[in-house]
Structure 1
Amino acid sequence: MKIRAAFTELLRHLVLCAGALLILAPFVWAIAVSVRAPEEIFTKDLHLLPQTWAAARNYGLALTQMPLMLFLGNGLIVCTAILLCQLVILVPCSYALAKLSFPGRTTLFALVIIGMMVPSTVLSLPLFLMVSGAGLIDSYTALVLPWTVSVLGIFLVRQVFMKVPDEIIEAARLDGLGEGEILLRIMLPMALPAIGAFSIFSFVRHWNDLLWPSVVVRSVGMATPPYGVMLFQSEEAGSDYGALMAGAVIIALPMIIAFLVAQKRFLQGVSLGAAR
């Protein structure tokens, strides 16, 4: 039995390592390309390490030939605004769906579940028509407004609120606390790990979003990081893939660092948000 258990554990780790290598391979190759000379990128021989290091050239071009800091700043503004709006909406909505009784609560929660099943790309055309009709094209509002409600966040935080015993809430009401005070002083602190996990989900999803910015952005000054690099490819860099990969690595690093720093809280939040 011990041999079988050890073999099962070894097999599990091998599968996990293979999956991790498969996921990491594109990023590792992007880093490898970002430090290569242009003539070494398309060669018959496959070498992870370059024969001629061109990291200074490629990263220098990425930082000087395109307004990379502007793209990073736009991404930070847009992602932060989206996250703050989502939190302002999802926290009270999650509390209402979890602990308040009102007509239509079951129907509203069913709509939340349905919303999680609808791909965001399906909504791109109607959202564009709404934003265009309101005259918001090429603005921060156009980048932020369509994503201010997150059904994933509502579902995740609701699951945490559902685990809070009703007796605690009833005791708080008997002590004279209103629903807003109960939410802020009792419920919200309990949901902070789940909110932290959702914050990482939201930030990474909108930081890496390419489709929506390419629909509503018309100027370089409003470009977010992925869309800005795409503009650089089509207008400035041509076939200089070393500089393009350097730019891609730079815009990916903030999210990687943020995840590594918040990894423990992220895993804790995901586990707290599991279904009852």
Structure 2
Amino acid sequence: MSENDWISLNVGGQKFATCRSTLNREPSCMLARMFANPKSLKPGSTDSSGAFLIDRSPKYFEPILNYLRTGNLIIDPNLNPEGILEEARYFGIESLIPRLEQIVAQNSIPRDDRSLTRRDVIDALMSSSSGSGRGDTGLRFQGVNLESADLSRLDLRGINFKYANLSRARLTGANLSWCQLERADLSYALMEGAQMLGVKMLCANLEGVNLTNANFEDPAGTSANLEGANLRGANLENSTMAGINLRVATLKNVNMQNCDLRMAVLAGTLSRGTFF
């Protein structure tokens, strides 16, 4: 009996052919024990072609078999991961069960409550015909949850992020020029070196944000608008902020050392920070 022997399976009426070595990839699983040796737990019946009959769902068995072949879990978008998990438990594929349980648990969270990922944003950027540019591009992430998402170095110009949750997001080196960030939550986000030309951040929450070496100055003259924004404890050291509108913004404990504040509007700000 060789590991290279081919075995025919009839799972729920669909034929599968595989090597004994594939079924033995997980030695403790039922499939390995079925064909391990002459005294193994073989299926009770065969069909007319000699294929061993297994009364399980073929569509959920196929990703299990492919996992044993390659070590990679590939799930067709039209398949319910819960069905694959049920088969993994039935056949005892112990290395696969925790991964499927995680996928099922993630899918059980309502989409509106889930934090979007870098991949979600990139997919949206790639599918958008307007992609990036000056002003309103038509791409909207209004009110979405992007908490702790890694969006560093992405070109996000002109996107509507109004009311979005970007708390603790990583936006280092990202281009947010001309974005709409009105009342967005960017508290404690990492935004070092971000491009912020002409950005609209009215009443945005920027508490504790790291905006060191950021650039707010638009050579074309469109001023960044942070009117009413909360910048309590923010770090904007070495940022270029010429012409920025900080009217009635909260600047308590803000670090604005070495910032370029030429023509900045600071009327009515609540400030007690480091400016020089």
When normalised by structure 1's length, the TM-score is: 0.20
Higher gyration radius (CA): 2
When normalised by structure 2's length, the TM-score is: 0.20
Looking at secondary structure, tell me which structure has more strand per residue: 2
Looking at secondary structure, tell me which structure has more helix per residue: 1
Q: Which fold has the larger relative contact order, with Cα–Cα distance below 8 Å and residues 6 or more apart in sequence?
A: 1
